[in-house]
Amino acid sequence: MRYSTLTTPIGELMLTADDDGALTSVNLPNRHPDPAGWERDDELLADARRQLTEYFAGERTEFDLPLRPAGAPFQLRVWEALLRIPYGETASYGEMARELGHPTASRAVGAANGRNPIAIVVPCHRVIGANGSLTGYAGGLECKRALLDLELGRTALV
């Protein structure tokens, strides 16, 4: 496993990639795995670091990176659906469940969303409660609000 870190307005992110350079995780601040035995490789992850920096500067609305998240088939389907939520927009867990053809699976969608290993790039922060409320986020609700505010043009994070 290769890794790099990136200082951002929400804190330090840890990025991981496989040996082919496909992004395997973007870990939010205070959620970093132990990199013991991994190789630090800022060059391999330079494109991901650049695109995330552009995102936080308000200059990028879509990512163009090879992704390789590890998960169960249903989780992978949920994470693919997250990629279809446009920048600056949100969807509810129920809407996502209906889109996936499982209208009663909003809790399962929520569980898969919470296990998304590639935060920000796979935009799990764009999923909200049916009533429009912010709900759980691995980085905390303050972080989720900051990412949504950035995307809605309410505030610059840099």
Distance CA 82, CA 123 (A): 6
Out of 28, 124, 128, 147, pick the active-site residue. 124
- Residue 143 is a catalytic residue: no
Distance CA 26, CA 17 (A): 9
| Residue linked to tokens 């990136």 | 6
Distance CA 4, CA 19 (A): 13
CA 140 to the chain's CA centroid: 13
The residues annotated as belonging to the active site are: 124
